[in-house]
A = this chain, B = another copy of it.
């Protein structure tokens, strides 16, 4: 049977509350009694029951991280950094996959309300803001990414600026026919729309006419879907001079297709991605990409969460994380 505060108290010859005081350290305890208690804790191999503590304190020490799909490198890297950063602050992280199933988000929110979760970091896919009504009884929520939300705290990378910068970089050696892979196919994905805006802004600056036939639409951003979209595009369209993929994952799929078709990267076409996932560095050829500090994203998200826990009344806060263009072989001259 597990030891409880009572057992420890009995063994140390004090009251349960004193044991609690020793553990939490806010209420001063005499040195000699503290030692007795610590000895007893050690002897009995006592570990406090977190459910009981959670019930009493109204805090569980657990936050939830909701991602579309853990198996994708981007989500995985975010998860890695959030778990890491959370651990440093003494939080545990519960992971949920929302996938494309809206019921998942519901489950999540009710669990959040059920007090097992002190806060929620949410990386929505196509968040029709409907699903998350930041109600009164919800714990603090921080969103990651580009979300058309004016209520919840948010950490993001300025996609418009990043896409613009990448497009300019791809155009620098005189390339003019720059295609994008991952354009919105009607679902209204915020990410797709913003990146396209940045791309078009760059074209405008460069005096290049927009050409909608260079927008390769692709709903889901995975290597497979990216590869398929590019493959069928190339069946009926001439080869562009450059290809700006809206994620590294799609870029990896694209590289695979190009290689299979015998098209040389970067000689025949320059390729770039977005996200700077670890594998991009080891792609063949190594992938030019938009990079940003995922650890910083994680830290900022946690900071916002923590702050919101102590003060729920402040207005929406939005943190933008810097990006930079990393040029590797796939866009070389």
The reply to whether the CB of A324 lies closer than 8 angstroms to some CB of chain B is no
The answer to whether the Cβ of A93 comes within 8 Å of any Cβ in the partner chain is yes
B285 touches A259 (CB 8 A): yes
Contact A256 B278 (CB under 8 A): no
B114 touches A48 (CB 8 A): yes
Q: With an 8 A cutoff between CB atoms, is A137 at the interface?
A: yes
Contact of A50 among B116, B283, B286 (CB under 8 A): B116
Distance A223 CA – B287 CA, assembled complex (angstroms) = 14
17 residue pairs of the A-B complex, CB under 8 angstroms, read A2-B115, A47-B113, A49-B115, A51-B115, A51-B116, A70-B79, A70-B80, A71-B80, A73-B76, A76-B76, A92-B94, A92-B111, A92-B116, A223-B281, A252-B279, A253-B282, A283-B284
Closest chain-B Cβ to A119's Cβ sits at a distance in Å of: 14
Q: Is chain A's interface secondary structure helix, strand, loop, or mixed overall? A: helix
Nearest first, the 7 A-B pairs at minimum CB distance are A76-B76, A51-B54, A71-B80, A284-B284, A50-B116, A70-B80, A256-B282
Residue from B2, B51, B79 within 8 A of A55 (CB atoms): B51
Chain B contacts for A47, CB-based, 8 A: 110, 113-114
A282 to B227, CA, bound (A): 9
Q: Are A84 and B97 in contact (CB under 8 A)?
A: yes
Mask of A23-56 contacts with B, CB within 8 angstroms, 1/0: 0000000000000000000000101111110110
Which A residues are within 8 Å of any B CB, using their own CB? 2, 45, 47-52, 54-55, 60, 62, 69-73, 75-77, 79-81, 83-84, 87, 92-97, 104, 110-111, 113-116, 137, 223-224, 227, 252-253, 255-256, 259, 278-279, 281-286
Contacts of A54 in B (CB 8 A): 51, 54-55, 116
With the chains together, A75 CA to B35 CA distance in Å? 43
Structural contact, A77 and B71, CB atoms closer than 8 A: yes
A279 in contact with B62 (CB, 8 Å): no
Q: A49-B55, A83-B97 are in contact. Are A256 and B227 (CB under 8 A)?
A: no
- Say yes or no: A95 contacts B97, CB within 8 Å: no
Cα-based distance from A54 to B49 in the complex (angstroms): 10
| Contact (Cβ within 8 A) B282 A62 | no
Q: Are B73 and A73 in contact (CB under 8 A)?
A: yes
* Inter-chain contact B2/A137, CB cutoff 8 Å: yes
How far apart are A16's CB and chain B's nearest CB, in angstroms?
Answer: 16
Chain B residue numbers with a CB within 8 Å of A73 are 71, 73, 76, 279
- Alpha-carbon distance A78/B281, docked complex (angstroms): 23
**Bound-complex Cα distance A310 to B55 (A):** 26
Give the distance to chain B from A259, nearest Cβ to Cβ, in Å.
5
A318 to chain B, nearest CB (A): 26
Complex Cα gap A33–B315 (Å): 43
Instruction: Name the one of B75, B80, B87, B255 contacting A69, with C-beta atoms under 8 angstroms.
Output: B80
Within 8 Å CB of A224, what residues of B? 281-282
What's the least CB distance linking A40 to chain B, in Å? 17
In the complex, the answer to whether B95 meets A93 with C-beta atoms within 8 Å is yes
Residue with the greatest number of chain B CB neighbours at <10 A, chosen from A48, A50, A227: A50
Compute how far the CA of A62 lies from the CA of B92 in the bound complex, rounded to whole angstroms.
12
A49 touches B114 (CB 8 A): yes
| CB of A230, distance to nearest CB on chain B (Å) | 11
